[in-house]
Amino acid sequence: MRKAACIASLAVMLSSICILRAQTPAPESRSVWDGVYTEEQAKRGEPVYHKECAACHGDMLTGGESAPPLTGGAFLANWNGLTMGDLFDRIRKTMPQSAPGRLTRQQNADILAFMLNVNKFPAGKTELYRQSEMLKEIRFESAKPVLKK
């Protein structure tokens, strides 16, 4: 009887744990406001940007006649509501224009970190991923969220 009660209690406990697990929300998805790159990575990306991108996009990322700005309203409008994976793949597949795909994933991630830094998105403790699929989990939001946990 006692044994049966113990087993029943255990079963209840386990099921409660299961229920609790099932009810625990998935980890909140991240956005560019959650520190998705490091200062160090942005510093690494800066000279790569100046070497590979600035001739068309400008040394202050303000764009040129043949290339859009990578800062400010026009840039934010293009990517707002999409993911870092979308932006990363666009760079990786089409840039630099003369030889798309020439830069390594690491270089592209570093350039992207630099761009985020110039656009005043906060740096964090982990580097920006180099895999598109993982970057797709990071939302690009132009407006800073009001309430941050």
Residue numbers at the binding site for another protein (CB under 8 A)? 43, 46-48, 50-52, 54-56, 58-68, 71-74, 76-82, 86-87, 89-90, 93-94, 96-100, 102-104, 107, 117-120, 142-144, 146
Question: Which CB sits closer to another protein, 43 or 126?
Answer: 43
Tokens read off for 13: 């406990």
The least CB distance from residue 110 to another protein, in Å, is: 9
Distances in Å between the alpha carbon of 104 and those of 55, 98, 113, 124, 129? 19, 15, 14, 22, 13
The least CB distance from residue 139 to another protein, in Å, is: 13
Neighbours of 123 (CB within 10 A): 18
The least CB distance from residue 50 to another protein, in Å, is: 4
Question: Which CB sits closer to another protein, 75 or 129?
Answer: 75
The least CB distance from residue 148 to another protein, in Å, is: 12
**Are the beta carbons of 141 and 32 closer than 8 angstroms?**
yes
Question: Which CB sits closer to another protein, 24 or 66?
Answer: 66
